[in-house]
Structure 1
Amino acid sequence: MKEQLAVPKAEFRSYYGKQILKTPVWNWMIAAYLFSGGLSAGSALLAAGADLTGRTRLRRVSRLGALASLLASMYFLIGDLGRPERFHHMLRVAKPSSPMSMGTWILGGFGPGVGLAAVAELMPPRLRRTRLGRVADWAARPAGLEAAAVAPGVASYTAVLLSQTAVPAWHEAHPYLPFVFTGSAAASGGGFGMLLAPVSECGPARRMAVTGAVLEVAASRTMERRLGLVAEAYTTGRPHRLRQWSEILTVGGAAGAVVAGRRRWAVAASGAALLAGSALQRFGVFEAGVASTKDPKYVVVPQRERADARAEKTQSGRSTTR
């Protein structure tokens, strides 16, 4: 006969409901860094495709966008370090087990290619006819292709970086965040091209934007369904509102990319919506992580569930060996 408990089993939360984890000291600049880094990666990938297919104006817009957003991301990252002058210390070692170390080296491999390709676009016509200009034009394509090869790592490594922290909403989402961030990067890169490039050359940008939007929304919805209790951090409060608007703008922008035809204003509006949706996605994920550290249930309940699952597995293993 199963033993009856005299009192209900206690459900420990935390000491008087006190916060267990410290709230991340990062501010909004880190969320902006997540967005601008993804935009740079998406733009670099689109620029390489435009270069290979002879779309010179789309190539120019995307190369310059990749450089501008990369510089913005570095500004946001270094500005939030507290001691920006010590940034170079991160390049003293390469530690494969550290997402921060690997991310630093990924950016180190990405930046020169982006910069060289963009400099070639900025050269005035008279300088292009000189020996220096011809060398820059010759080097721009391999530099752009190198940056495009590294771009997927730039788009996704920040998701790995977040998921390796103790923040529940980020740590529990580690199987899904790389797909959310990669899709968001592709959607924003395509959206940037749609916003500024001529409609006649926007075909690749539109296809890239739609593909990225589908991946982002699908991965985001899957994440919400499978996270269990921690999903509340994404589906309630300010993070929910940010991500809800992100989905509305991303889906609307993707739909506009499909049906806008050759109407310049419609293509540009769709591109702006995709950019805004991508930014709100990154801010929503950031805010969800901050919110999840303030309620102890997001720490304690998953820990207890994992402990109970291990105990049940051990008990079942003992039963089968008897």
Structure 2
Amino acid sequence: MPTYLYLGGMSGVSSSMAVMARLTGNPRLARSARLAAAVGASAGAALLAAELGRPERFLNMLRVFKPTSPMSVGSWILAAQSGLSAAAASADLAELLPAAKDMALLATAGDAALLATGLTGPLTATYTAVLIADTAVPAWHEAYRELPFLFAGSAMAAAGAVAMLATPRAQAGPARAVAALGAALETAAGTVMERRLGMVGRPYREGRAGRLMGTARLLTAGGGLLAAVAGRSRVLTALSGLALTAGSLCTRFGVLEAGRASAADPAYTIVPQRERLDAAP
């Protein structure tokens, strides 16, 4: 599940980055981001199907659209993102073929699919935060305010890292900016979340989850700083990209472990309930 969360977030922000790169005349970055979005969404959908145990369960969730169900809405978002990003990437790669000049219609369709991912991308990057917050798991449910920002920042850092590594350094400036901004957002959201949650936020600071979240903070902050100063340095770009990728993965694994730890201890459910009852007039 954590890898699926990482891939979905990376795909979503990569799509948004590809749209902006296409509109601002940066074809190399647009191509890298298109491919990252397609690979991330397709691999994420495959992992989700595997997580469900039987692939047909994912298809069954697409039989009905329930606006009140985060799982139903999320399934449709992921399906749309997977299809659109694959179409956009395929059309872009087709331009490399010898007969590309005769494929104007395909290029137009690819651009249309890319623009559509400008809508599905941000949703893909953040819907998983809403999905897990809409559960009874204390460490997730109580963090419903900050989790979307935490996941958005993590997704931006991850997508920026991939684009930095896959794009010529002269054209990768916007990717470095996205990575640095994402690292700052993730760090700020995580800090605010842990402070606001109080006792319920303890799993994010202790045990295996605490170690993962602490490692994520160090990697993300360090990677973000390197992205901000890397410029066209090959070494700094590589170090930043690797640190941000590892940091984003640690964040997803840390959030998952914190949820498991809070669900295993009844105190994280009982104490907040008592506090709310005591605070009621």
Smaller-chain TM-score range? over 0.9
Task: Give the aligned partner of residue 89 of structure 1.
Answer: 60
Of 125, 128, 133, the match for 2:100: 128
Separation (CA, whole Å) in 2 of partners of 1:204 and 1:150: 20
Amino acid at match of 1:134: A
Separation (CA, whole Å) in 1 of partners of 2:262 and 2:223: 30
Of 107, 111, 121, the match for 2:82: 111
Asked if the contact 1:199–1:264 (Cα under 8 Å) also holds between the matched residues in 2, the reply is yes
Q: Does 1:231 align with 2:201?
A: yes
- Aligned with 1:125: secondary structure? coil
Task: Give the aligned partner of residue 211 of structure 1.
Answer: 181
Q: Does 1:32 align with 2:10?
A: no
Separation (CA, whole Å) in 2 of partners of 1:87 and 1:254: 35
Task: Give the aligned partner of residue 291 of structure 1.
Answer: 261
1:173-197 CA deviation, whole Å, 9 max, x = no partner?
0111001001111111111111111
- Aligned with 1:129: secondary structure? helix
1:35-67 CA deviation, whole Å, 9 max, x = no partner?
110010111111111111221111111111111
Separation (CA, whole Å) in 1 of partners of 2:59 and 2:119: 24
Cα deviation for residue 89 of structure 1 reads 1.1
Q: Indicate the RMSD between aligned Cα atoms, in angstroms.
A: 1.2
Amino acid at match of 1:135: L
Amino acid at match of 1:151: G
Task: Give the aligned partner of residue 150 of structure 1.
Answer: 120
Task: Give the aligned partner of residue 72 of structure 1.
Answer: 43
**Is the helix fraction higher in 1 or 2?**
2
Alignment of 1:181-200 (within 5 A): 181-200=151-170
Asked if the contact 1:253–1:271 (Cα under 8 Å) also holds between the matched residues in 2, the reply is yes
Unaligned runs of 5+ in 2: none
- Aligned with 1:227: secondary structure? helix
Cα deviation for residue 244 of structure 1 reads 0.9
> Higher relative contact order at CA 8 Å, sep ≥6: structure 1 or structure 2?
1
**In terms of Rg, which structure is larger?**
1
Aligned length: 280
Task: Give the aligned partner of residue 226 of structure 2.
Answer: 256
Separation (CA, whole Å) in 1 of partners of 2:43 and 2:33: 15
Cα deviation for residue 87 of structure 1 reads 1.8
Separation (CA, whole Å) in 1 of partners of 2:111 and 2:235: 31
Unaligned runs of 5+ in 1: 1-29, 314-322
Cα deviation for residue 110 of structure 1 reads 2.0
Cα deviation for residue 129 of structure 1 reads 2.5
Which range moves more in the overlay, 199-208 or 84-93? Answer: 84-93
Separation (CA, whole Å) in 2 of partners of 1:301 and 1:177: 21
Amino acid at match of 1:78: A
Of 259, 264, 267, the match for 2:237: 267
- Aligned with 1:59: secondary structure? helix
Task: Give the aligned partner of residue 41 of structure 1.
Answer: 12
Asked if the contact 1:42–1:187 (Cα under 8 Å) also holds between the matched residues in 2, the reply is no
Cα deviation for residue 122 of structure 1 reads 2.1
Asked if the contact 1:70–1:111 (Cα under 8 Å) also holds between the matched residues in 2, the reply is yes
Which range moves more in the overlay, 275-284 or 141-150? Answer: 141-150
Task: Give the aligned partner of residue 240 of structure 1.
Answer: 210
Separation (CA, whole Å) in 1 of partners of 2:117 and 2:166: 21
Deviation >4 Å, runs of 4+: none
1:189-212 CA deviation, whole Å, 9 max, x = no partner?
111111111000011101111111
- Using the size of structure 1 for normalisation, the TM-score is 0.84
1:154-189 CA deviation, whole Å, 9 max, x = no partner?
111100110111111001101110010011111111
Task: Give the aligned partner of residue 6 of structure 1.
Answer: none
Q: Does 1:52 align with 2:17?
A: no
Separation (CA, whole Å) in 2 of partners of 1:242 and 1:69: 23
Separation (CA, whole Å) in 1 of partners of 2:115 and 2:186: 24
